Amino acid sequence: MSVAATVLTALVGLIHVYIVVLEMALWDTPRGRATFGTTPQLAKQTTVLAANQGLYNGFLVAGIALALLGPEEHRYAFALFTLGCVVVAGVFGAATANRRILLVQALPAALALGAQVLAH
């Protein structure tokens, strides 16, 4: 894996660690509400849903970790699969929830995915 592919993939992992924290721990706080544009009432009503969503983002973090630190012969496969999932999730999120997700989630993953393919 090239340095660029490693750095971009790690960046996607760090972005998703932050998303996990926002969704699972900070959802009903001023920071969480500002990030996702929710009211205190909506945040309180959707805390369990957000935590569930955060857990799924945690699985993406696990896939990125395996892409970076897993068995060397499987890292590329983990990277392709997980980064591909992030791109799809980002495109879907942008189409259904907020276009900003395209820039925050899908674009970094697409760049990392491209770097992985070029490095392989």
Q: What is the mean pLDDT of each run of 10 residues along the chain (120 residues)?
A: 95 98 97 96 97 97 98 98 98 95 97 97
Q: Which domain range does residue 102 map to?
A: 3-119
Q: Are 89 and 105 in contact (CB under 8 A)?
A: yes
Q: Are 45 and 51 in contact (CB under 8 A)?
A: no
pLDDT of the residue at 43: 97
Q: Are 71 and 100 in contact (CB under 8 A)?
A: no
pTM of the model: 0.93
- Type of residue at 62: A
- Report the distance separating Cα 70 and Cα 39, nearest Å: 40
pLDDT of the residue at 1: 80
- Report the distance separating Cα 80 and Cα 117, nearest Å: 8
What is the total count of domains within the chain? 1
**29: number of Cβ within 10 Å:** 13
pLDDT of the residue at 8: 98
- Report the distance separating Cα 83 and Cα 85, nearest Å: 5
